[in-house]
Structure 1
């Protein structure tokens, strides 16, 4: 989930807040950027998807729409929703979204699902805008470095939300953070940010030990009121219901991790037909909106990573204060232990 308030709060604290704008039309992105600039003077990032649609999106038929709608019909009707009618796909161009970021002069541009063209990357470099590319494999990290990005976010499969793989399928790019980060650190010279399954100070310290120079956290912030997540979504995380997560293509058409509930399980059943992204995403909104109004948490697509059960805080400042304090405390404890063991002659 993304909200201007959360982005600004993280940046104002000293982090790099980020706003996911991939589903927005260009003018809506412009409005978001200006709103964020109105509540923070600190650097922030805007995130886009390089690949905006899957193969088959433009040729998908009305018949395919109704086949994919069929297993959702009972759920939509159970929460008092209206069954949707077929509408032709109206694409949003990545290049048009990018132009808004350039026009508005954002501090940092992060992206997943591919690498923008050399022309686009050069345009951002020319304006002094930092580039953050996302890798789910070592090969993707190497490709990003060769393309000329400034920072690589190494995203392990524990992360909530979408798997941003682009060299191989997402199913063939499921490397965990603990294994991915040190391999990426060894393979590239760029700063590496660890992402996926980092939910508290212990995860931050571990990421640094693996060679990362920063961490990217998402699920930990979802429980905060500033996140823009619904009250049901935040309740699922804080209540412990999110302790079980799973991967599915059912929520949007692309592989993503969410809270394991009845809707996710239904999508993962054999022979369920899933529309290509973003057609499936648009279809699922017809269950998610009425389900939220009806308070039916079992019928909501709820993004969450495998560290969701570690979430404790409901406001950004308290969460960040806790992370800074506990990370410092763990670091001091590790240094003290290391010094003591060296004195004892155990470590050299």
Structure 2
């Protein structure tokens, strides 16, 4: 058996999987139905709980378990520890508000209050998933100990070797190596460094594999068996996929967003802060392009930009995307098929490419 196959087999045995494919925990695009379908194919389902209350986290886990006894992860963002300068923060808000005025009339301000991070963490403990995963930072040591005491693994997203080593030292059971090709938000620990640290997955993987002791889960631009086989060959034990599942019926992606992914070239995705204030890869829509034009202001910080965009979406606007069109660079490989078929085909194809 080759080393690549051995790593995948060990990872699958440890976490109760039939094949080394994890669903990306996409906040707002990870309904229990999708996780059930992925787990049913032998992979690991996922829920992104960034916007979820403790009650909704518990309900999501119950709905998943009603349809599957398989493995699943729950994912949350780590809050920033430093407060921005109030005057600078307000300056960015004012500039973003004025710029958004060019897209129409805003609706009422407000929206639901964001959930409390510590309460979310307690709810994830109570849900007892296979793994709890983090992005944009590390959990506190006490929380890691509590996870492990309940038999819950911790998967930590990292975009650089320094971040990966810090996660390993902090007790992570696996590192999710996120390449710049990935759709959605960048996992950089320091948001001000996110643009500088845009490293491609196949450059990042060998660098991590040569230094880490814990398993690596590769994510970013993987959408078929070729990418899966390549990731395992370069040192990963499993892969995590998101964009390739966005057109699956179980995901519930809006018709407009799904249509934007069809035959989308890698060059037609860009990293932007225009939706949330944090760097993320999305479709290069007219709205996203506008924020990159000369003279356009820098988007407000998170969550201010997110709230402002939400306010304008509640109003009467023209040219503002009605949802965040997240997309990885392999979006063109996404198909309108059941998620189980996508996952199964990926692994079957990879097996045909990997040496025995």
Which bracket does the TM-score occupy, shorter chain normalised?
Answer: 0.7 to 0.9
TM-score where L is the length of structure 1: 0.85
CA displacement, residues 32-59 of structure 1 (integer Å, 9 cap, x when unaligned): 2222222211110000011268743977
The answer for unaligned runs of 5 or more in structure 2 is 1-28
Equivalent position of 2:144 in the other structure: 121
Q: 1:96 aligns with which of 119, 122, 127?
A: 119
Cα 1:263–1:124 change in 2 (3 A) is: same
Once the two structures are superposed, the pairs formed by residues 39-118 of structure 1 within 5 Å of their partners are 39-51=67-79, 55-56=83-84, 65-77=93-105, 83-87=106-110, 90-118=113-141
Q: 2:307 aligns with which of 275, 279, 282?
A: 282
Q: Say which SS state the counterpart of residue 210 (structure 2) adopts.
A: helix
CA displacement, residues 10-51 of structure 1 (integer Å, 9 cap, x when unaligned): 112110111111122222222222222222111100000112
Q: Say which SS state the counterpart of residue 235 (structure 1) adopts.
A: helix
CA displacement, residues 276-316 of structure 1 (integer Å, 9 cap, x when unaligned): 11121122224556799x9x786653000111112234321
Q: 1:262 aligns with which of 286, 290, 297?
A: 286
Is 1:16 the counterpart of 2:49? The answer is no
Are the equivalent residues in 2 in contact too, given 1:156–1:174 (CA < 8 A)? yes
Deviation at 1:275, TM superposition (A): 1.7
Are the equivalent residues in 2 in contact too, given 1:138–1:183 (CA < 8 A)? yes
Equivalent position of 1:27 in the other structure: 55
Are the equivalent residues in 1 in contact too, given 2:159–2:179 (CA < 8 A)? yes
Structure with more contact order per residue of length (Cα contacts < 8 Å, sep ≥ 6): 2
Once the two structures are superposed, the pairs formed by residues 194-273 of structure 1 within 5 Å of their partners are 194-240=218-264, 244-269=268-293, 270-273=295-298
Are the equivalent residues in 2 in contact too, given 1:53–1:276 (CA < 8 A)? no
Are the equivalent residues in 2 in contact too, given 1:53–1:277 (CA < 8 A)? no
Equivalent position of 1:338 in the other structure: none
- Please say which structure displays the higher CA radius of gyration: 1
Cα 1:91–1:322 change in 2 (3 A) is: closer
Looking at secondary structure, tell me which structure has more helix per residue.
1
Equivalent position of 2:204 in the other structure: 180
Q: 2:168 aligns with which of 145, 151, 154?
A: 145
